[in-house]
Chain A
Amino acid sequence: MGGSLFSNYGEAVAILLFVIGFGNLLLQSNLIKKIIGLNIMDTAVYLFLAEKGYISGRVAPIVVDGVQSVEAYINPVPSGLVLTGIVVSVSVSALMLSLTIRLYKRYHTLDLDEISLQLKKEGL
């Protein structure tokens, strides 16, 4: 167990980062910190994919010097997944940031709990 953990330290770090990001997104009450947590969480997944997709000593599957053997190249699919994932996470972060700006303009605070309190006072 300990040995395999050490040889796969990249994956272990990725999962650790995922948990940190998840916890921040769930538990922080400051909206900006939540968004930072979201980004850590998503990036951790990309690190995980990159770790899993890379085989040391091989290169990206672009044939330049006539080498066509499968052994020379890495699997390009994880990189494609990371790319798609980045697009998704950028759009989601942009949406979250715009919502945060709206709330800040209305309530002059970034604290989600305090916003809830103010809403209760408004008593809509």
Chain B
Amino acid sequence: MTGQMELVQNFPCFSIMLCMFAGIISSALKGKSAKRINTAVLCINILMSAAVLLFTVRTGEFYVYVMGRFPAPWGNELRIGVLEAGMALFFCVIMLLSLMGGKHKLIQEVEEGKRNLYYILTDLMLSSLLALIYTNDLFTAYVFVEINTISACGLIMIRQNGRTIEAAVRYMIMSLLGSGLFLLGLCMLYDMTGHLLMSNIKEQVTGIYLSGAGGSFHVPLMVTIAIISVGLAIKSALFPFHAWLPDAYGYSTVSSAAILSSLVSKGYIFLLFKIIYRVIGFDTFCDSRIIDILFIFGLMGMVFGSLSAIKENDVRRMIAFSSIAQIGYIYMGVGLGTQVGMVASVFHVLSHAATKSLLFIAAIGLTDVSGGSRKFIELTGSGYRNKIAGATFTAGALSMVGVPMFSGFISKLLFSQAAVQNDGKMFPALIVLGISTVLNAIYFMKTVIRIYTPVENTEYPTVTWRENKVYAVTLICFIVLNVFLGVLSQPIVDLIGWGLNMFA
């Protein structure tokens, strides 16, 4: 790097540190003050990430931020490009909206004395997510993966009942299996290459790869790629590893469910994208057989996740099962093994994060006007009793099914375009995409019809938006975000493509 460092370039480091310190300070504060600090931190982070995004768009290239005094092969560093800054901005916005939308439930469901713990956990969660986005060092990534797991576990079990503790245990077991594999994989990479910084590893890995199948490290390299990919796939709940997910999302408090489904799993997926481009190299990754495995599991997830969602009789668990299908879409895009497929996957990360948190937050408004029950039979007509939640849920459902104007349509369009460009995988991808869309339509439209079926003289109260203004504003923000992603998709897709090129 040449010349004087601009102030903006320090912001990624500041935002990670800020979240950590906020978490530490909050431990000595009461729930209300902890909440204020958390909101302030999120707002400052949104501003800082936006500034970094503008900076990287203006300069048109990535920059490296050296942590400490030691330069590249020895020290630790952050690396910031368009995609990293954009993702950080997006994650902060979603987290702020999820916390705003679930605030009233948090007050009901979490004991008075434990509310500050909730905000400590979200601060730590945000810091680990930002670190996963920005870091250029594999071992730092591992440490923050574990911090992320621990805080996610806390977010699940903060609402104390048998279900959530059991879900937290199951979540921990699966996550630990995943991070164990990830740790082993990165140790093997370190042994083969002698580096921990992503860019330095890549130089060596490319050398190993170019030495061909006869080279002495070719087989270990392929095994390592497989171990790391499978480890991260387990952590982000790809299809056969999803058993913990419905309980964890279905019974925790609603902000936790929204944050877990839209941010935590996406953090790991983003790390995998980064490893694909920056550690292993896109071409090396595509030539390994592992992308076929990810592709097949992605396809299976798309179908089986949706089938389980159709069978479900509980609206929160239904949305959770739908997440499994959507994670399947993302891995399907990775499995296509083309740049277009990767762009589609990154866009779907954004689109799914925006839509899934919206659905969780809107569903809670509907269950609240149905006596707190989440069974479909009780939800009948709830769209009339809480109009704004009903309208928002419908918007989210339309987006998930893939109706134009909403973000879900664009990601389906991008996935199909990517599939058409890949000869070998075109037919399975397109057919499963079609089946999955129909299945999505079945369970989401079933729910929408259910909540708009009028019932005569119900005993449940009707609420207007004036009774909980924060909640109503949050829902409107979510709809705006979703339509924004759907309508202004072209610039965003261009930015993602640009960012991915900058990634390598």
Closest-CB distance, A38 to chain B (whole angstroms): 6
A25 B177 Cβ-Cβ under 8 A? yes
B residues less than 8 Å from A118 (CB atoms): 162
A96 B187 Cβ-Cβ under 8 A? no
CB contact list, B243-272 vs A, under 8 A: 251
Q: Which of B177, B181, B183, B191 has the most CB of A within 10 A?
A: B183
CB contact list, B156-211 vs A, under 8 A: 157, 161-163, 165-166, 168-170, 172-173, 176-177, 180-181, 183-184, 187, 190-191, 196
Majority-rule SS of B interface residues:
helix
B residues less than 8 Å from A107 (CB atoms): 162
Q: Is B498's beta carbon under 8 Å from chain A? A: no
B191 A119 Cβ-Cβ under 8 A? no
Contact with B along A51-70 (1 / 0, CB 8 A): 01000000000000000000
CB contact list, A75-118 vs B, under 8 A: 77-78, 81, 84-85, 88, 91-92, 95-96, 99-100, 102-103, 106-107, 112, 115-116, 118
Contact with B along A34-64 (1 / 0, CB 8 A): 1000100110010011001000000000000
Instruction: Say whether, besides A18-B184, A48-B184, A92-B150, A84 and B169 are in contact (CB < 8 Å).
Output: no
Q: Is A73's beta carbon under 8 Å from chain B? A: no
CB < 8 Å neighbour of B169 from A45, A85, A96? A96
CB < 8 Å neighbour of B251 from A103, A115, A124? A124
B187 A106 Cβ-Cβ under 8 A? no
Closest-CB distance, B320 to chain A (whole angstroms): 15
Q: Is B291's beta carbon under 8 Å from chain A? A: no
A-B contact count (CB 8 A): 84
A residues less than 8 Å from B251 (CB atoms): 124
Contact with A along B112-149 (1 / 0, CB 8 A): 00000000000000000000000000010011001001
B169 A22 Cβ-Cβ under 8 A? no
Q: Is B153's beta carbon under 8 Å from chain A? A: yes
B180 A99 Cβ-Cβ under 8 A? no
Count residues of chain A with CB under 8 A from any CB of chain B. 37
A residues less than 8 Å from B161 (CB atoms): 124
A106 B162 Cβ-Cβ under 8 A? yes
Q: Is A26's beta carbon under 8 Å from chain B? A: yes
**Please, how many angstroms separate the alpha-carbon atoms of A115 and B169 in the complex?**
11
B184 A45 Cβ-Cβ under 8 A? yes
**Please, how many angstroms separate the alpha-carbon atoms of A34 and B352 in the complex?**
33
Closest-CB distance, B312 to chain A (whole angstroms): 15
Instruction: Say whether, besides A25-B176, A34-B173, A92-B150, A102 and B165 are in contact (CB < 8 Å).
Output: yes
Closest-CB distance, B227 to chain A (whole angstroms): 10
B residues less than 8 Å from A52 (CB atoms): 187, 191
Closest to A21 in B: B180
Q: Is A122's beta carbon under 8 Å from chain B? A: yes
B165 A88 Cβ-Cβ under 8 A? no
B162 A41 Cβ-Cβ under 8 A? no
**Please, how many angstroms separate the alpha-carbon atoms of A25 and B157 in the complex?**
21
A124 B180 Cβ-Cβ under 8 A? no
A99 B176 Cβ-Cβ under 8 A? no
CB < 8 Å neighbour of A77 from B146, B183, B196? B196
13 contacts between A and B (CB under 8 A): A22-B180, A26-B177, A38-B180, A42-B180, A45-B180, A48-B184, A77-B190, A84-B139, A95-B150, A99-B168, A100-B169, A102-B165, A112-B170
